[in-house]
Chain A
């Protein structure tokens, strides 16, 4: 089994840039694609990044994803923060044994 570790919470001001990390323990971050989901209170999760860096067409360009083999982690960067970006963000990946593993989630506050 592997784990995906995210910071529990982050906060930043509107207009700024925030980067949320997702560190894989057990196996290489590059071995499987990483997805990122946004979940606003009371709503189902929605995809903001899939396959490490791809954005669904409805997601603004302010959202970007990447992976870093040296730190064995993935990152979600949100630039030009807006109050509507507040919510919980989850990374998700897989390995040969587990088709789906989620990170613990990061609560993003924009204030």
Chain B
């Protein structure tokens, strides 16, 4: 059974850096891309970016200048950093396992982390 468990700071001030980590339990770590997806309050889903086991990344063009991801294959963990946050970055952030099928298919998600940006 595959489980994704995520954690990170839930309250940030404007201009700080958001940092989240997701641990993967069960299943292969090397056969997938590992994504971060966010959902602003009352709004839809926005894909942030992804990384695979070898460190290959893809990012949403609208966030690319502020996003970085990293991976620790020994721990089956991957992380997200989003710099210079503003109130517009307040959202629930999810990690997800992306199966490559030409695009991506997310059949396993983390529990979500609410990140609030407020002064």
Contact = CB atoms under 8 A, between A and B. Distances in A.
Interface stretch (A14-22, A65-73, A77-85, A95-103): A95-103
Interface stretch (B7-15, B17-25, B72-80, B99-107): B99-107
A76 B59 CA distance: 28
Shortest beta-carbon contacts, A-B, top 5: A94-B103, A100-B47, A44-B109, A102-B45, A105-B44
Contacts of B94: 44-45
A45 B106 contact: yes
B44 A99 contact: no
The residue in B35, B44, B105 that gathers the most chain A C-beta atoms within 10 A of its C-beta is: B105
Nearest to B46: A102
A44 B112 contact: yes
A47 B107 contact: yes
A33 B44 contact: no
B83 interface: no
30 contacts: A33-B101, A33-B103, A33-B105, A35-B105, A37-B106, A44-B94, A44-B111, A44-B112, A45-B94, A45-B106, A47-B105, A47-B107, A50-B107, A90-B44, A92-B104, A93-B103, A94-B102, A94-B103, A95-B103, A98-B60, A99-B58, A99-B104, A100-B35, A100-B37, A100-B98, A100-B103, A101-B47, A102-B44, A103-B44, A105-B45
Contacts of B102: 32-33, 94
Interface in A17-62: 32-33, 35, 37, 44-47, 50-51, 56
Nearest to A45: B109
Interface string B49-74: 01000000010110000000000000
A50 B101 contact: yes
Interface string B33-45: 1010100000011
Contacts of B109: 44-46
